[in-house]
Chains A and B, each alone.
Chain A
Amino acid sequence: MSGTGLWWAVVATCAGCYVLKLAGLSAPRRVLDHPRVQRFAALVPVALLAALVAVQTFAQGRALHFDLPRTAGLGAAVVALLLRAPFLVVLAAAAVVTAVLRHLLA
């Protein structure tokens, strides 16, 4: 992957994310009142986040791939969430379980 291409993606993401924030703060009020805008706003992040969880856990490039330590790490995150653990504890649980299993299986 070319370094320049990566910089373009970084710059486009930075500029785009800022413009989106500013657009929301500056938009006319009636945009918010549109029911489809509200519905889209509630649903799209859910679909995107769920898709990201699935892909980053089970995909390796274009191949579906079951990685036991990583999957177990995500399982640990679920347990931590069920126990209402703080955000950081959830992330730490995922990393620690993945690292320990990977070490044991290596």
Chain B
Amino acid sequence: MDETTRSSAVRDGLGVGIAVGLAGLAFGAAAATAGLTVAQACALSVFAFTGASQFALVGVVAGGGSLVAGTAGALLLGARNGLYGLRMADLLGVRGWRRLPVAHGVIDETTAVSLAQPDARAARTGFFVTFATLYLTWNATTLLGAAGVSRLADPDVLGLDAVGPATFLAILWPRLTGGGPDVRTLRLIAGGGAAAALATTPFTPPGVPVLIAAAAVLAVVLRRPA
């Protein structure tokens, strides 16, 4: 691997790791706003370390929803990391006990940076640089965000309640605006999922409408195999 490829992988990893890692401020703030303790917010960032799932659990807690439904929603979102792992296994080439620490880093951002690299060694460099940078930044900013907000009387004054949905929208956006052949289907699924969730909100405990949206997709997938 030449040095340019390597340094460009390092640069990508540092850039994504720091930029996305700073959003840990928003997560820490959202968690504290929802009523989690600083320790609970930090535990999620240290051990779950997957932003969308963390925000999903905290969002259900904030809405006064059922913890079982909140956890189920978080795990359903976490399932996509398993699917990234399927793709990353060959590329990372880790065996035996080494899989245990490496697995923790298989998330949206590390997979995206890794798959964007031109060759396998740069892909591994990109993965590990992103993982390390994002892990450190995300955990430090979670602590800052949670500790900062738990001192505020009313966090809604800072508009932090809009940050959760904005985060999900930003993660979703590239999938709906990409040029893939599936983009029409994806937009339909997104519209259908949002509509199903809102339509069932008055009749089910908070957290459940999001699961209903996922179940609706499962039904579509099973009826129309690719």
Contacts and interface: CB of A to CB of B under 8 A. Distances in A.
Contacts, number: 322
A27 to B, nearest CB: 6
Nearest to A106: B157
A105 interface: no
Interface in A64-106: 64, 67, 69-70, 73-74, 77-78, 81, 86-88, 90-91, 93-100, 102-103
A26 B173 CA distance: 30
The SS class assigned to the A binding surface is helix
Given A55-B210, A90-B170, A91-B167, A74 B162 contact: yes
Is chain B's binding surface mostly helix, strand, loop or mixed?
A: helix
Given A13-B74, A17-B53, 14 more contacts: A9-B68, A12-B71, A18-B48, A20-B81, A20-B82, A26-B89, A44-B76, A44-B214, A47-B190, A48-B73, A52-B164, A77-B169, A93-B166, A99-B159
Interface of B: 19-20, 22-23, 26, 35-37, 40, 43-44, 47-50, 52-57, 59, 61, 63-65, 67-68, 70-71, 73-90, 92, 94, 99-100, 102-104, 106-107, 156-173, 175-176, 182, 185-186, 189-198, 201-206, 209-210, 212-214, 216-218, 220-222, 225-226
